[in-house]
Amino acid sequence: MLRCTDSHENLLRSNSSFFDKALKKEWKEGQDRVVDMPDADNEAFGIWVKWLYTALVFIHKEGDEIIKDGVQTNSREWLRWSKCYALGDFLQDTDFMNALIDVVTEIIEEANAQPVSLPNYIYSHSTENSAHRKLVVDILLRCWDRTAYAKTVVDQPQEFLYDILVNMAPHLGTSIQQASDVKALLNTADLCEYHDHGPDQPCYRIKPGFKF
């Protein structure tokens, strides 16, 4: 349950279409200024609130790295990211979700790998025309080892597999140019290509309060 005050309401409503609708005066929530959110993940919501006030996404925490079978993995960080991404979808905060895409590209670059489950995260919480989906499609087509993705394809969303086929079609009979690795792909990409603000809206990066 979230109780809104005057000092916070404008910030909530300007960043979240969910809160903008929920807090309209014709609704009970708008009159009582209390919004019930029983399914919201508390940790993810806390990260979102910090994002509203600092323009920073605090995903990583000390101790996230664990060693399993001699290999370092950041599974806790990935889980936290996925919960934040789901929350961003629920709150309808496009800027927050675009920032999370930038966060995930940084994590991928640092690890020089993406989790196999990333398409599931993104396709479960994005629309058919979302630019976020292009990120995982590009990574698979240009960076994944052919044998590796063939073995895991059965666990991927059907919409993702459809998008893969659609994007492969223009290259049939020739070849799909592959980047040497995922770092090479992301270092040459304009990351706004993977944002959902579209050509007519400013990127969150250039809005007041965001500095990079």
pLDDT, one tens digit per residue, over 144-172 is 776 766 666 777 889 998 998 888 877 66
Whole-number mean pLDDT of the chain? 79
Within a domain: 11: no
Within a domain: 132: yes
pLDDT at 127 over 90: yes
Within a domain: 189: yes
| Cα atoms in the 13 Å half-sphere on the side-chain side of 119 | 23
> Which secondary structure element, helix H or strand E, spans residue 164, and what is its range?
helix 158-168
Cα distances from 128 to residues 76, 133, 143, 171, 196, in angstroms, run: 28, 8, 23, 22, 11
Within a domain: 2: no
What's the CA gap between 176 and 189, in Å, rounded?
A: 16
pLDDT at 125 over 90: yes
Residue 118 domain boundaries: 58-206
Q: 212 by DSSP, 3-state: which?
A: coil
Within a domain: 49: no
74, two tokens: 């950041």
What pLDDT, on a 0 to 100 scale, did the predictor assign at position 124?
94
Of 106, 48, 116, 105, the C-alpha closest to 80 is: 48
For the entire predicted model, the pTM comes to 0.78
Within a domain: 71: yes
What pLDDT, on a 0 to 100 scale, did the predictor assign at position 25?
63
Query: Residues 136-145: what's their mean pLDDT?
Result: 82
Q: Which of 30-44, 105-119, 144-158 has the highest mean pLDDT?
A: 105-119
What pLDDT, on a 0 to 100 scale, did the predictor assign at position 114?
75
pLDDT at 198 over 70: yes
Query: Residues 78-105: what's their mean pLDDT?
Result: 93
More confident residue, 47 or 183: 47
Within a domain: 199: yes
What pLDDT, on a 0 to 100 scale, did the predictor assign at position 176?
62
